[in-house]
Amino acid sequence: MGVPVLIMGKSGSGKTYSLKNCDPERFGIISIEKGRLPFKSKLKVAKIPKTLRNPDGSEAASYAQINRAKYAWLTQVIRGSKNVKAIVIDDSQYLMVGEMFDRSGEKGYDKFTDIAKNFRDLIHFINDGTPDDMVVYFLHHTETGADGREKCKTIGKMLEEKLVVEGMFDVVIYCADHKFQTQANEISTAKTPEGMFEDLEIPNDLAAVDAAIRDYWNLNEKEAVND
């Protein structure tokens, strides 16, 4: 059972920059929109194939199939990542945004149901279909919720009102001003297990976060068994 982790924040807050200290032998990156990192690095970035990002010439009715194929590609890449212990999906909200724009010509609410289900199923796959020592980080934009706090950006009322994306993650970290916040406050809906982090605010260093998560849940021991 893998570990999905949500790292959320506004654009430019330092989410992607938090990868700077990550070991390229242990971390893999899947880019949904951007193809380059904001720093020099040997980290390898896998890009969603162009045919799945820009399905020019496709009939509107086939966009649902194209987006299912996009998620199938994602799960295949994650499943095939034998030599890394952590995968970063950057920026994961574009999975939903891209599907919404692809299917903007469709009437009715079926497309919003599909958008919610596809994203939910990806999280379920990480929970149920990846090794115990695999951690998958969702780098995700935020939006202001009804209570005025920053929350995970979603598409449609099903994810907003029925699912609550943060509820599917045991670790939710809020990034602001190149700092990570580990617990909810008047600003965000962040949350982390008791004792995982001593401080409410820590450096935006994903390598350090990954080490803390692995130490807390003894994932290094599971890694040794898997090896």
Neighbouring CB atoms inside 10 A of 184's CB total: 16
Residue-wise pLDDT for 26-46, tens only, equals 999 999 988 789 999 999 899
How far lies 101's CA from each of 98, 111, 161, in Å?
A: 5, 10, 21
Task: Provide the percentage of residues in the chain whose pLDDT is more than 90.
Answer: 69
The CATH number of residue 12's host domain is 3.40.50
- What is the value of pTM for the model shown? 0.92
Q: Are 46 and 28 in contact (CB under 8 A)?
A: yes
Which tokens go with 184? Answer: 């909810």
**Containing structural domain, residue 215:** 3-226
Q: Are 199 and 185 in contact (CB under 8 A)?
A: no
Backbone angles phi, psi at 100, to 5 degrees: -60, -45
**How many structural domains are present in the chain?**
1
Q: What share of the chain is helix, strand, coil (3-state, %, to 5)?
A: 40, 20, 40
Residue-wise pLDDT for 57-86, tens only, equals 555 548 888 899 999 999 999 998 878 999
